[in-house]
Amino acid sequence: MASYTTGDSGMTRQSFMASKLSLKNKVTVVTGGSRGIGLDLAESTADLGSDVVLMDIREPQTDLKELATKYKTRFKFYHTDVTEMTSLQASFDRCVNDLGKIDNCITAAGVAMDKPFLDHTWDECRKLLDVNVLGSFFCAQLAARQMKEQQTGGSIVMIASIAAHCAIPAQRVSMYGGTKAAIKLLGQTLGAELAPLNIRVNTVSPGFIATDMSKQFTELQDVFRNVPPLGRIGETGDLAMAVAYFLCSGSSYTTGADLAVTGGLHNGRIEL
Ligand SMILES: NC(=O)c1ccc[n+]([C@@H]2O[C@H](COP(=O)([O-])OP(=O)(O)OC[C@H]3O[C@@H](n4cnc5c(N)ncnc54)[C@H](O)[C@@H]3O)[C@@H](O)[C@H]2O)c1
């Protein structure tokens, strides 16, 4: 049986774990980083020592200079439309030019739509596919190309959803769920394909999380609060450790995995 060891360095157990979790001297790209889940993950990543590049179609909802001072890391924002390859390529080039490398990439840019299946239009579906699937796919590709060139390996975390796991109570998200199922499977296929380059790819599937995205579904707020078995809506901070695990060296033997952070909802509601 394998036993826990701190090695020969004489490090304490605590410092061994802290060193595994550290993102010091790393550069992390976060798409959709201007607000909500992406912004929170940008902060938690910086809290572990990483420089952070936000790529988003909207301006950051916070002062990046204040964040840089607070976490003593570098923060950059590049206006980026993840549905345009030229825009993505320009931002990735700028990132390498400004910060020298890319170690981690979190794809959090996304859009949602709650609408009956029978009423979905082609244009609405195209938008969901462009942002959620192609935007994440090509971000991962640009990040992986850079990691390959650096010969450093790296970690890519793609934000999927509970909608990739099951039909969501009270929501009609057929195409949104389809896009997130694509992301979940992409994590598995890229995890295998990029493993020889030591590039790990994993997905995190949030349940109901309180953000501007979920707030737009005003009539569903009671469902979001009461239906998860843990009895509450998630906060953006509930995702921080899941993503940190996949990014850090402590997960160096983990790829192609999905972690559902849903308050237990992906296993169904438990009636007591
Ligand atoms: N909030 C939830 O309950 C929940 C649950 C499961 C999964 N998710 C997923 O988490 C991710 C973040 O969601 P959120 O709740 O923070 O939403 P949000 O709307 O608050 O943030 C999404 C961000 O993506 C950006 N974005 C949208 N289109 C873009 C484009 N074309 N190019 C660049 N950036 C673009 C937006 O400007 C925004 O900053 C999404 O992928 C979403 O599908 C959210």
User: If you measure from the C-alpha of residue 39 to the centroid of ligand 1, how many angstroms do you get, rounded to a whole number?
Assistant: 10
The CA distance from 44 to 42, in Å, is 6
Asked if 161 is an active-site residue, the reply is yes
Tens-digit pLDDT profile for residues 81-137: 999 999 999 999 999 999 999 999 999 999 999 999 999 999 999 999 999 999 999
Largest Cα separation within the chain, whole Å, is: 63
In the DSSP assignment, the letter for residue 132 is I
Pocket lining: 214 vs ligand 1, CB cutoff 6 Å: yes
User: If you measure from the C-alpha of residue 10 to the centroid of ligand 1, how many angstroms do you get, rounded to a whole number?
Assistant: 44
Tens-digit pLDDT profile for residues 3-13: 445 555 555 55
Query: Could you give all domains of the chain from N- to C-terminal order, each with its CATH number?
Result: 23-262 (3.40.50.720)
Give pLDDT, residue 2: 45
Look at ligand 1, atom 42, and give the residue with the nearest C-alpha: 110
Tens-digit pLDDT profile for residues 187-241: 999 999 999 999 999 999 999 999 999 999 999 999 999 999 999 999 999 999 9
147-151 LR contacts (CB < 8 Å, sep 24+): 147/102, 147/103, 147/197, 147/199, 148/197, 148/199, 150/101, 150/102
CB 166: neighbour CB atoms within 10 A?
14
DSSP assignment of 167-211 equals PPTT---HHHHHHHHHHHHHHHHHHHHTGGGTEEEEEEEE-SB-S
Pocket lining: 130 vs ligand 1, CB cutoff 6 Å: no
State the amino acid at position 250 in one-letter form: G
Give pLDDT, residue 86: 98
Tokens of 13: 């157990």
